[in-house]
Every structure is written in C-alpha cells, then in structure tokens.
Amino acid sequence: MMNESISTKSNLDFYIFNKWGGLLPFLVIIVSIITLSIEGNNTSKAFWASGFMAMAIGLVFSKNKKDYCESLMTGIANKNSAIIILAWIFASILGKILVGAGLVGGLLWLFSTSGVTGSMFVVITFLSAALLASGTGTSNGTAIALAPILYPAGLYLGCDPVFLALALLSGGVLGDNIAPISDTTIVSAYSQNAKMQHVVRSRMPFALIAGAISIIVFYIFGNGTPVKIDINLVEVAPHNLLLLLSLVVVILSALRNGHILESLTYGIITASVTALLIGSLTLNDFFSIPEVRGVTTGIIQKGIDNIVSDIMFVLFIMASVQVFINSGLLRDFIDTMTKTIATNKKQAEGLIFGSSILGSMIVPSNGGSLLLIGPTIAKPLATKFKIAKSRAANLLDCGVCSIFYLVPWSLAVVVWYSALENAAIQFNLPLPDLSMTFITPYPWALFLVMLFSIISGWKSKGIEEEETDLLNFEHKGSNKSSY
C-alpha cells in the first residue's frame, strides 16, 4: 500500500471558477450526504445517487472532458481502494459466519451469567474492538466484523445504543492508531523515514491517555434500557463461545505480519470449521444452489451483499476526490500553508497536525491522505524545524485518527454506520441517527491530547532524540567516573 501514491498531476480546468471547479464533485457529495442525513436517509446506498450526480456535474463543467474522465478512472482504480474493498468483503463474510453460527448467543450467555451489563459491556465493546483493530490494522474491518455481534448483544444487556455504537467506532480507531501493521502507521513512518519501533513506542502515551479518557466516558454514559431480542434468532449457549477462536486466529496471524486478507481468510476458515463441529451451521448454509431463482446461495453471498453499498460509495467518492486533486487545488493549498503559516517549531507541528486532519477529510482513505500530506508538508517542515522523524509521523497519524472519524461524510463513519444498520435490521433493533458521530469519544480525546502536546511541548521529543540524550548523559557520566 505504501508504494502507490495518489496522482497529483494538475491538468483539469473548468468553465466556472477555473480550477476551483475541481471542488464541485466533492461538494455535491458532502452537501447531499448532509441533506440526506438530516432527513434520516443516511445509508451508503442512499448516497449512490449523490456519487453519480457529483461525477456528472463535474463532467458538464470541465473544459477537457477526456482528462476529467481519466481522473475519474484513476481515482476508482487506485490500489488503496482495492485493498480497502477486499478487506471489507473478507471481514463482512467473517462477521456473517459468526452471527449465523451463534456467537451473539454465546456472548449473551457469558455476560448474562457473569452479571456484566450496561456500562461495563460498553467498555468491553470498546476494548474488544481496539484489540481486534490493533491486530488487523483496520477500523473498518473491525466494525464490519463486530457490529453484527456486539450491537445486538449490548442492547439486550442494557447498553445505551448511542454509546454502544460509539464504543465500537472508538475502539476501532484506537486499534488502528496503535497497530504496527495499520496503513496509517506504515505510511506515516515511511513518509518521514522514521523507524517503526520508534513511531509505535512514542505514540503509545497519546493513544493510551485518549483511550483511558474514552473508557471513563463510556462507563459514565453507557447505561441504557434493555431491549428484547427475538430469542428465536439466537441460541443462548456456552459452546458458541468457541467461535471467538476465529478472532484470536485473525489477531495472531496479523501480529505475525500476515497480510490482512490472509489473516481474515484464516479467521473465516477457523469460524467455518468451528461452526460445523458444534453443529450450528451445515455446508449448505455456506453455499448451495437455490431452488427458487433469486434466492441467496448462502452465508458467503450474504456477506458480500452486506458490503456492496459501501463498495459503490467508496468508488464514487475516490473518483470525485481525484478530480479535486488533479485540479491543482491541493498543491496550491500546500504551497500557501508552508510559506505563510509555519515560522517556528510549534507552528510547524500545528501545521503538520492540522494538514493531516484536513487531508483525511478530503481524501477518504487515511493511508491515501498521508501519502499526500506526509512527503509534501510534514517532511519539509520537520527537516526545516528539526522535528524528530517519529514525532512528525505521530502528528500525521494522530491527525488522521481524530476529526476524520467525527464527520458523517467520512468513509469510515459511513461503513461503521452501515454495519450497525445491517445488525439493527436483522435483529429488529433501534438505531440512533448518524449525527451521533459528532460526539465519538476517542477521536475527540486524541485530538485534545495532541493539541495539548503541541501547545505545551509535552512528549515533543521523538524516541530517537531521547535515546541520543540518554547516550550523551551516560557518556558524560563515564567520563566523570574515569576522571
């Protein structure tokens, strides 16, 4: 994923606003999403029309139709999009298998008998999502895999639906933030020529403090009213907990540097074999030729069906974003910011952090936005103002893991909400409005922690600087001893 940057070739012009017309497709999508969300129609499938209108309107006003069409195709064919889409498909199939095999019932048995309800389950949801995301490096895949399981179980156990849903999102962000195999970790370190171990070690204090703040919030506000679930939909039995082994396999494989698709495949195989052994699924449940035309062929097809809406949406939005990039507006912004705002180290750190946030809101792929901002803004500023490589990488990574997860038009938020919606429909459960994302605890906590760090200078030294200081101190001490 690191080796493919998003093309920044500037060759687009428009009949209105000149190059500023490059904002048209992206603005159409954002305005449409906000409007549909206000009206309560905030599913990714409802956004398809927005994506099509965005591309069509941009084409009408573009001066060079061929270059415009090439930009659309470049955005859709981006390798980052392909990896994201494949990971979603595999994670969705895993989630469908776990739900179909009865993991929800196993969790209901476990927490009902142990007395864990309400706020405590919300905290457990947050930690579970963080664990899976830290092992797999994907917040989106985590939401797709766990939402069908933890959301219905949590509502049955008396969790507040808003904070239960936000715990799932927050945990995914925390895990993605600290995962060594996350695309954001890899690209932020790679773009600054920083050592991976330095980046991960120096980021931990920020992530863990933000995580602790989030746990407090979830514990205080996590209680709600228990919601009844049709008991016929789940088998409340302890043996269904054996399905958790598949998630353990995914995490262990990822920690051994297995590719995300490889790790999810091992999880799918483990979940399938376990489900067959405990008798909760049969081979026909996975795939069979339907007797009636148009009926699903089984769990695998259902898993893919679950994610089709999100796949279509990511293709539309990546195409529109590429138009914005190829208009040259991003390059103009970068040049202006680096020449006029940063005059000292603290301002440079603020600009790196702020540009990372803004980039993540323009380019819906966190890794893709870092590929743009890292080499063009962060690295030159870090070099000029002697900001440690690991510090610059962390400013980048924590930036894309903050405000990006608060706005309703963010791709990650749309995917998370779609996963919740599928679970709510399957179990006939209430689902809060998408606007709840504005109060997601972990992104806010991480944003405030990093803002404090930039203003106060706390933890502003990179690991490499601290190690150099320690060596110098020990060297001076040995010289004095020798003397």
pLDDT in tens, 250-292: 878 876 777 778 888 998 999 999 999 999 899 998 988 877 7
Averaged pLDDT of the chain: 82
Task: Quickly state the pLDDT bin for 379 (edges 50, 70, 90).
Answer: confident
Given a contact cutoff of 8 angstroms between Cβ atoms, the answer to whether 406 and 384 are in contact is no
Whose CA is closest to 51, among 76, 70, 74?
A: 76
Q: Which two tokens stand for residue 358?
A: 């803004």
Query: Each residue of 85-95: pLDDT tens digit?
Result: 887 788 788 88
Q: Alpha helices, DSSP H only, in 2-78?
A: 24-38, 48-61, 65-76
- pLDDT value at 483 more than 50: no
Q: What is the largest CA-CA distance in the chain?
A: 91
pTM for this predicted structure: 0.73
**Residues contacting 397, CB < 8 A, separation 6+:** 177, 184, 185, 188, 199, 203, 356, 370
Q: What tens digit of pLDDT does each residue of 337-362 get?
A: 767 777 789 999 999 999 899 878 76
- Token pair listed for 285: 């449940």
The sign of the torsion formed by the CA atoms of 113, 118, 120, 122 equals positive
Q: What is the pLDDT of residue 471?
A: 46
What residue spans of 256-402 are helical by DSSP H? 260-277, 283-286, 299-326, 329-340, 345-362, 366-373, 379-384, 389-400
